[in-house]
Structure 1
Amino acid sequence: MGVRALSSNSAISGVGTGNGTDSRLAAETAIEEAFRPLAGREPDLVLVYASVRYDLETVLKAVTAAAGPSAVVAGATTSGQLEGGRLIEPGDGIAVLALAGGGYRFGLGHATGLQADATRAGRALARAALGAAGPVRSPHEAVLLFSDGLAGDQQELLNGIHKVTGFQIPVVGGAAADDRRLAETFVFAGDRVLRDAAVAVWIGSDRPLRVAGGHGWQPTSLPLMLSGVEGQIVKELGGRPAREVFWENFRPRGGVDTKLYKKAGGYHSEHAFGLIQPDGSLLIRGAFIDSDGNLRTFSPMPPYSAVQVVSCEPDDLLEIGEEVVERVARGGEQEPSVVLVFDCVARLDILGERGHEEARRLQRAAHGAPTFGYYTYGEFARTTGVAGYHNATIAALAL
């Protein structure tokens, strides 16, 4: 599928939110607030983030009707949203961004079948979005990606995209969430609600597109070899039982609470794995003890790769979030009209009540541009190389 939008040179953006139990009313409230700054101008790009509690088809019909036939409409379900310095708690809320102008070229594509073959879906997705953007290539390009957060191997999805884009074109975005239920997540393409799918917006620009990511986690163990891996289950670390090694390096604040780590999704975990990259950096992979007592990760890790157990403090997460947003907000030739943020729900769970502080600090770091984002089940921030799917990380793009 492909939809194309080509904007003019002056960028205008608006963001809006709606809540309550009535899906149509919540959507219309968010739409009215987001479209108001455009003063009657038709948007080129509309992003929609929503709790799974809403009738999503009703929400998207309202959005696409307001956006008009030429707008690219995309988005995902969430575990909370960020809008202009406010945190919208998981379980409630619809957030809408409307963007017009700025000289951007947008192309929308989607692909299904992530579970069966994520690499193939990634290739199809990138080709559809690129084709929809049109035959004229822009000097600067990026891919904005939304995926079903509970479907398939997210890194393999990126690998498929990489086969089309090459390493020069950055990818940024988030895996859809469902208010921590871990039942079903959805992505949006126009007025369509999709699962086992991914949606991409190809962005072309005359100016550089600023993408950044960061995590704030620090190693608490020596490097360890993944000597036994079966899909998402880690069997052995350095030839020893993985769970035994993990607990040796685990230093939770206030003592071990094993009930937390049997909880589906591993929320509230203060520890994870850092997958050691060739340049020495760490790619964060969330880890938890599942109901069968297995040490499990959210996405498969390559056998015989090197990892470290990592940990973090709330202050570390707050500081890195500010750094990431400031990097994209201040790194260009002109002030952005909006900063898109993709923030892991695991970070929110670690921050607790300080999540509201994070929302304010991210907005302050944007230097006047509105922040707009959601809490994800994984983040995409690929600026070099192939790897670029993260857990417990924050990613940002300035437009």
Structure 2
Amino acid sequence: MRVPLRIAPDLSIECGVTVFRVGIGASVLADSTMAGRQAAESALSGLAGGEPALVVVFATASHDLPVLLAAVRQVTGDAPLVGASSSGQFSAGTLIPPGQGVSVLVLGSGRYRFGVASVSGLRANAFEAGRELARSCLAAAGPERDRHAALMVFSDGLAGDPQGLLNGVYQVTGAAVPVVGGAAAADRDLSETLVFHDGRVLGDGAVGVWIDSPRPLRVVSGHGWQAHGLPLLVTNVDGPVVHEIGGRPARAVYEQNFRYDDPMQELPTAWSQGYHSAHAFGLIEPDGSQLIRGAFIDEDGLIRTFTPLPPYSAVQIMTAGPDDLLDISEPLIADALDGADATVLLTFSCAARMDILRERGAEEAVRLQKAAGPVATFGFYTYGEFARTTGVSGYHNATLTALAL
């Protein structure tokens, strides 16, 4: 079956004398060849006979991914292709849950110029991989520059240090080029996560898209999490392991701040014993906002985060329920679309949010599309989100991030 698109059939906007068109398609067929072809054909029809300038693919890792990508490229041709394995996808208000489906977005030419590249070696040196990725994407975009740009990044969700990857990107791009995207995911477990570049499926790697634009490109983010308790100081940390907070054992401090009267406080998942989805660290930023850092208790009883907390950083214990997470949808979309004159909204959410939303999981996709109105929404559920705007920091957990094109 095809997943219906509940949006206006003409996904286009006039840019001077050029029409910028996009197309979206999705399939939940089990056969990888048939699913890839069906989703790609549906997406390509949105270009009204035009050639794609960029193809974006999100798919369950249960597909035969090389076969799936080959089927997509049989339809879309040699246009650059990027993407990632997902823990669910959403487009035009429809959720495809984990374990099934492929979603395809095709972007026409006319308004933006794209430069695509990929790197490997995140585990060995995420910082150097980030530098190489940014340089290669910029070079692939060609020598001519528009006034504005952004970088979209997908990385192996289980490889290396995602913030380190962004640090490397920042050294090349500086603060003027925002970064958006997400870490590849799996079907609610900690198995292999993969990114896509043209017909290749890459582990321990990242793929990026340099987006040159005649107008400013603004990356936005929001999470809906609420602080529980006073700020705390991380006093002893070793990579992803948090040993002490305020000079006390980290686990004792973390659990002391659990809201045990909250029915959402512990949501066991198949992929991380000891993971409490409804609790996280909030890394306090200079402006007082918090970057969400998911945490879990490992088999040795130690607190681990999905990316390291900086030594002597200030944090708060954060909590969230379904309404907290869903209520961020409308202000986030309004912020993303403010003055954007957009055709499509690239949106990235987190698998951890689905843990909390549970049976209300489909509501997020519906509310995002309703808030976007005639602008199509397209995205996937990640193992971490990228939204780097003014400073160096830009890796998030359990957060919504978006870029309007």
Normalised by the length of structure 1, the TM-score is: 0.94
CA separation in 1, counterparts of 2:64 and 2:211?
29
Q: How far apart, in 1, do the equivalents of 2:267 and 2:76 lie?
A: 46
Matched, 1:198 2:228: no
Per-residue Cα deviation, 1:354-390 (whole angstroms, up to 9, x for no partner): 1111111000111211110000000000110100000
How far, CA to CA, are the matches of 1:45 and 1:245 in structure 2? 47
Structure 2: which amino acid aligns with 1:282? Answer: Q
Quote the residue 2:77 is aligned against: 68
Conservation of the 8 A alpha-carbon contact between 1:262 and 1:288: no
Are the equivalent residues in 2 in contact too, given 1:122–1:158 (CA < 8 A)?
Answer: yes
1:366 corresponds to: 372
Contact 2:113–2:212 (CA under 8 A) maintained in structure 1: yes
Alpha-carbon offset, residue 101 of structure 1: 2.8
Structure 1 unpaired stretches of 5+: 1-6
Distance, in Å, in 2 between the alignment partners of 1:49 and 1:140 is 26
Q: What residue is the counterpart of 1:188 in the other structure?
A: 196
Is the contact made by 1:262 and 1:289 (CA closer than 8 Å) also made in structure 2?
no
Picking from 18, 23, 26, the partner of 1:17 is 26
TM-aligned CA distance change 1:15 to 1:374, over 3 Å: same
Aligned-pair identity (%): 56
**1:38 maps to what in 2?**
47
Contact 1:262–1:291 (CA under 8 A) maintained in structure 2: no
Which letter does structure 1 place at the counterpart of 2:394? G
Q: Does 1:345 align with 2:351?
A: yes
* Paired position in structure 1 for 2:8: none
Residue-pair matches, total: 390
Deviation at 1:253, TM superposition (A): 4.8
Q: Distance in 2 between matches of 1:259 and 1:390?
A: 20
If the length of structure 2 is used for normalisation, what is the TM-score?
0.93
Change (3 A) 1:276 1:257: closer
Tell whether the 8 Å contact from 1:30 to 1:96 is kept in structure 2 after alignment: yes
Residues 73, 33 of structure 1: CA spacing in aligned structure 2 closer, same or farther, 3 A cutoff?
same
Offset of residue 262 of structure 1: 9.5
1:291, distance to aligned residue in structure 2 (A): 2.1
Q: What CA deviation, in whole Å up to 9, does each residue of 1:81-109 have, x standing for no partner?
A: 01110010001000000111341010001
Q: Give 1:182 shift.
A: 0.7
Q: CA deviation at 1:210?
A: 2.8
Of 140, 150, 154, which residue of structure 2 is paired with 1:142? 150
The letter of the residue matching 2:53 is D
Matched, 1:28 2:34: no
Q: Partner of 1:57 in structure 2?
A: 66
1:355 to 341, 352, 361: 361
Q: Which moved more, 1:60-69 or 1:285-294?
A: 60-69
Following TM superposition, the consecutive aligned residue runs of length 4 or more in structure 1 with deviations greater than 6 angstroms are: 256-259
Partners of 1:117 and 1:49 lie apart in 2 by 26
Contact preservation (8 Å) 1:48, 1:76: yes
Q: Please give the alpha-carbon distance, in whole angstroms, between the structure 1 residues aligned to 2:174 and 2:127.
A: 14
Q: Give the conservation status (yes or no) of the 8 Å contact 2:58–2:104.
A: yes
Which of 70, 78, 85 pairs up with 1:77?
85
Q: Distance in 2 between matches of 1:31 and 1:40?
A: 13
- Among 385, 389, 394, the residue aligned to 1:383: 389
Unaligned runs of 5+ in 2: 1-14
> What are the within-5 Å matches in structure 2 for residues 209-224 of structure 1?
209-224=217-232
In 2, Cα distance between the equivalents of 1:268 and 1:35? 41
1:321 Cα deviation from its structure 2 partner: 2.2
Is contact 1:268-1:346 (8 Å) kept? no
